[in-house]
Amino acid sequence: MGGVLQHQFLTSTYLYESHNQDEQASSELLDTEPMSPSCKPVDTTVKRNTRLSSFHSYRILRAVKQRGMSHVYKAVYNGAHGFQCPVAIKMATSIPQTARLIHQEARLLSEASGPHLPRVYDTGRLDDTPYFSMEWIDGLSLRTILKTTAIPIPVLIDLMIQLCDALGALHGATTPIIHRDIKPANIMVSPRGHLTLVDLGISGHIGHLRDTSSYGTVAYMAPEQLQHGPLTPQTDMFSMGAILFELLARRRLYTGTVPQILVQRLQTTTETYCHAIEQHIPQTHRVLTPLLFHCLQSEREKRPESVEVIREVLCTLMHPIHAKSCARKWWSQQRVRRALHS
């Protein structure tokens, strides 16, 4: 497929230039790269920054991500008296507005601290490029894990409870924060199963988010985000539902290229679509389908009132202490470790 597809989705017009991408490459875009402010895929052809070996008190070890709307590096902070600490450094790119987003992300993370969000250590500039340093998260993304192994119900429930706690910290901030890019690639899981929600680059305070459909990942966006509507905590809950489906079925809720997904979502309501794809959920996992459908309601008023409601439902299905115990045993199994790190 080549050229430009223009598609009217309710009140939103999306332009997608495929540049003759094959379907696999386009599918990768759905989970890894948010859309740019122009509603086109972000240009990922960013050259390596050769200046970076060490600066200020940081020594760069390796590049983690050098594509999309930011560069991320693993580094070591060198302090007084031989003190050293591994950190992640997130740096703006030359894409317009990324400097503002870098400052905003650091500020939001400082406002909503919690055990499932990375801690910010420092902000600054390298030449004219803004950056911030934060806690280094040792582990794999949920996206990588889902490609590698099936996740049993107790582990799944434990992960979803932790995701509720992460979003609870954001939504419960003094001025509630909407993440608006919840997806497996932005969820890190440690070797012991501890979840950390990362990448608040396009997050913002409720009531202060503009151009709501310009950013985000189409396969996980709530309908109101696609329609330029106001965003609420329920917007993040829709994305949680899309992730829950992926955990249950080991496939994305919406598949195909960006234009195909937009057409899919135009032609059917989320509720109708959910019942059509319920067949992909194993019978043993269908105890979670009522919660799944509650999160994926097209109208945000029909979704759960808060992530605490989702958490309570998960806890009624399995006590969190029991789920955590089962999860730790599962993550520690040698076959799981080998599968994840092969």
SS3 12: strand
pLDDT at 5 over 90: no
Beta bridge partners of 299: none
- Each domain of the chain, given as residue ranges in start order, spans 55-135, 140-338
319-341 burial, b for 16+ CB within 10 Å, e for fewer? ebeebbebbeebbeeeebeeebe
CB atoms within 10 A of CB 143: 18
Residue-wise pLDDT for 216-237, tens only, equals 788 899 988 888 788 999 999 9
**pLDDT of 51:** 55
Q: Are 270 and 296 in contact (CB under 8 A)?
A: yes
CA distance 326 to 322: 6
* DSSP codes joined into one string, 56-104: TTEEEEEEEEEETTEEEEEEEEE-GGG-EEEEEEEEE-SSTTHHHHHHH
Pairing, β 4-9 against β 12-17: antiparallel
Fold of 55-135: Phosphorylase Kinase; domain 1 (3.30.200)
DSSP at 288: G
Helix or strand holding residue 189 (H, E) = strand 187-189
Query: For the ranges 105-109, 154-158, 284-288, 315-319, which has the lowest average pLDDT?
Result: 284-288
Residue 210, pLDDT score: 59
Give residue-wise pLDDT tens across range 270-316: 777 777 777 878 887 888 989 999 999 988 999 999 999 999 999 99
- Model pLDDT, residue 218: 86
Specify the pLDDT at position 342: 67
Q: pLDDT at position 177, please?
A: 95
Mean pLDDT, all residues of the chain: 81
Question: What's the mean pLDDT in 131-135?
Answer: 94
Q: What letter does residue 35 receive in the DSSP assignment? A: B
- Check whether 1 has a pLDDT greater than 50: no
Calpha distance 60→62 (Å, rounded): 6
For residue 49, pLDDT beyond 90: no
Q: Specify which of 137-151, 245-259, 281-295 reaches the highest per-range mean pLDDT.
A: 137-151
Task: Give, to the nearest 10 degrees, the angle between helix 258-267 and helix 270-277.
Answer: 110
β-pairing verdict for 204-205 and 177-178: antiparallel
What is the number of residues in the chain?
Answer: 342
The one-letter code for the residue type at 83 is F
What tokens does 248 get? 């249950």
pLDDT tens digits along 174-232:
999 999 999 999 999 999 999 999 999 889 888 776 554 457 788 899 988 888 788 99
- Token output for 266: 């135009």
pLDDT (average), residues 242-268: 84
Sequence-distant contacts of 55-64: CB under 8 A, at least 24 apart? 55/126, 56/124, 56/126, 58/87, 58/89, 58/133, 60/89, 64/88
Q: Does the pLDDT at position 42 exceed 50? A: no
The fold for domain 140-338 equals Transferase(Phosphotransferase); domain 1 (1.10.510)
Examine the pLDDT at 27 and tell me if it is beyond 80.
Answer: no
Rounded Cα–Cα distance for residues 74 and 183 (Å): 22
Query: What is this structure's pTM?
Result: 0.83
